[in-house]
Amino acid sequence: MREDILAKRLFMVGCFGLPWLWAVHILYFFRKQKQQSTASAGQQLLTDQSVESTTYNDEPNDDSDGNGSGENNRALALEEKKWVRREIVALVLVSMAWVTWIIVFQILKNEYFSEEWLVRTPDQIDASGW
């Protein structure tokens, strides 16, 4: 599966209630980027020469749209990076909302939230022996 399509699907699934998938995909993306950069660091000169000979060649490629494979790969990488950035922003916003809810509930639970909000009432906790 193409990486940009996977990134878009994981973003959408995260929007439907599984935001932890955003964190998993962000970690996967940055690990993949780090591995690619370390693998290509030793072969930088060879890579530059091969990209020049294939991308800037006057002959058309086998691609149906006529673009070079280097340009297509860059476009796919930018598309994937766009969805990963959206995942980062969404994960930060959801995490901030979750932490805010926890703090507000812990501070104001006795004043504004009745015992129906709690899983166990204070009387049940004392009776359980825990």
**Distances from the Cα of 32 to the Cαs of 4, 29, 48, in angstroms?**
13, 5, 21
Q: Is pLDDT at 130 greater than 60 in this prediction?
A: no
The pLDDT tens digits for 36-76 are 888 776 666 455 555 444 443 444 444 444 456 778 888 88
The percentage of residues in the chain with a pLDDT greater than 90, rounded to a whole number, is 17
> Position of tokens 């504004």?
112
The arithmetic mean of pLDDT across residues 12-36, rounded, is 87
Picking from 4, 18, 7, the residue whose alpha carbon sits closest to that of residue 94 is: 18
Q: Which residue carries 């909000």 as its tokens?
A: 117
Higher pLDDT, 46 or 20: 20
Q: 2 vs 97, which has greater pLDDT? A: 97
